[in-house]
Homo-oligomer: A and B are copies of this chain.
Amino acid sequence: MLRMLTEIRIAGFGGQGVILAASVIGKAVAIFEGGFATMTQSFGPEARGGSSSAQVILSNDPILYPYVTRPDILVVMSQEAYTRFAPQLKPGGILITEQELVRVDQVPENIRVYGVPATRLAEELGRKVVLNIVMVGFFGAVTNLVDPASLRKAVEDSVPPAMAKLNLQAFDKGFEYGAELVQRLAEGLEAEPADALESV
């Protein structure tokens, strides 16, 4: 997989499983694709107030400096996370949102935006708590950065055995939603992502 160095930030509020989502992506690349990854959670005084944020770096080579400065990909699950981190996105980057929790405005034209109602999809599975894994599945489909089979294995590897089936269903649900969205966009059946936001 072509991937020199990709910086990802995942952010939301506590209890949404930000860290697990980040860890799954790191594991998928490092353990199942032979690459390297780090996941870093920084706690500073600004971490008070229930927000949660993790940084993931994926690379073909060992990573010498694990801090994300300007993410290539930003995944946000709260409005606060969006407001805080969206300005840091690299030009040409990808913004992924929990679309019912985040209202996107003022996106630079060169940022692609993809939204998924992850909480609602998780609730359809009967467990809101798997919204983070729905996000991971969606991330997999819209970025095409990591082999979906590796991501699935990393999900399975990261949760207790009794929770594996539910989490894999959540992954698949997010992935399918993302794959369909990408296809609709490719077919031009939907407006450009940035315009589609008007309906959020």
Contacts and interface: CB of A to CB of B under 8 A. Distances in A.
Interface of A: 14-15, 19, 23, 26-27, 29-31, 34, 36-45, 47-48, 62-63, 65-67, 129, 157-158, 160
A34 B43 contact: no
Nearest to A49: B31
A154 to B, nearest CB: 9
Given A66-B66, A160-B15, A160-B129, A23 B44 contact: no
A23 B43 CA distance: 9
B43 A30 contact: yes
A15 B157 CA distance: 9
Given A66-B66, A67-B66, A160-B129, A41 B43 contact: no
Contact of A40 (B29, B38, B44, B157): B38
A40 B19 CA distance: 11
